[in-house]
Amino acid sequence: MPERMRIQRAIARAGIASRRAAEELIAAGRVRINGSVAVIGQTVDPVRDEILVDGKPVEQPTHTRWIVLHKPAGVLTTRADPSGRRTVFDLIEDSPGMTYVGRLDYMTEGVILLTNDGEAAHKLTHPSGEIERTYLATVRGDGAAAARVAMKGVDLEDGTVMPKEFLARRIGRGLWELEITIAEGRTREVRRLCEALDLQVERLVRTRFGPVKLGSLAAGKTRNLTAREAEIITALTKSGGKRKNTTRGTRRERTNRYSR
């Protein structure tokens, strides 16, 4: 029996846009189903029905692809850039419906996932999923004082940041290396957190997204998910995001440890 689903889900699953963005496309009359303008909530069979967005067919993935990329600094997390700057899609073998999971800003390096499973990408990045991300930041300022303040919570313009972990290690005169784990996933959250703590970020690397670690993967290179990573990601996306004690090994108690 054919699988029917709401049109916004079909668009998201194809990696065209998130569900919310798909709803905006539908509301703007840019989506057609079998020649007729689509309406939000309309159900479709992605295999049998013709779905067009801006006149282009929506191709459902024939198999699910996941790519782990080490994004270098100076690369955009977007599909295309009008100014011609490099994007993450210039670094991978692209295919229909590929989208990124967990945006990194232009100068931030580190692990980023790409997939043609738009629905899974949405679940992994939605705040309700509480997927942990770990960052290694090289900063100037008082890292020890910042660690003490950060673990009590820091108010930003879009809410309070409560790091799961904030470890600071002095590596030079006025220079600190911070290991910060968060689960909110807001735009430029770590950079804004550091700014609020009077820290100047010199380098920022995301070393972990959920169960996926950067490890020794070289900048600009890709790899496939390991079997264990794939297993955990499947569980996270099926359960809506939260799965206790899977994104980390042994969960350490929250602490404001630091070294002088």
Residues serving a catalytic function are 105
The widest CA-to-CA distance across the chain, in whole angstroms, is: 67
Pairing of strands 200-209, 109-115: parallel
- Dihedral sign for Cα 78, 69, 66, 229, please: negative
d(CA 72, CA 223): 15
The three-class DSSP label of residue 253 is: coil
Q: Provide the token pair at 59.
A: 């191709």
Residues 209, 77: contact at Cβ < 8 Å? no
Q: Is 123 exposed, middle or buried (0-12, 13-18, 19+ CB in 10 A)?
A: buried
Secondary structure element (H or E) that encloses residue 6, with its range: strand 5-6
Q: Which residues contact 249 (CB under 8 A, 6 or more apart)?
A: none
Q: Provide the token pair at 123.
A: 């679940």
Residues 22, 36: contact at Cβ < 8 Å? no
Residues 137, 125: contact at Cβ < 8 Å? no
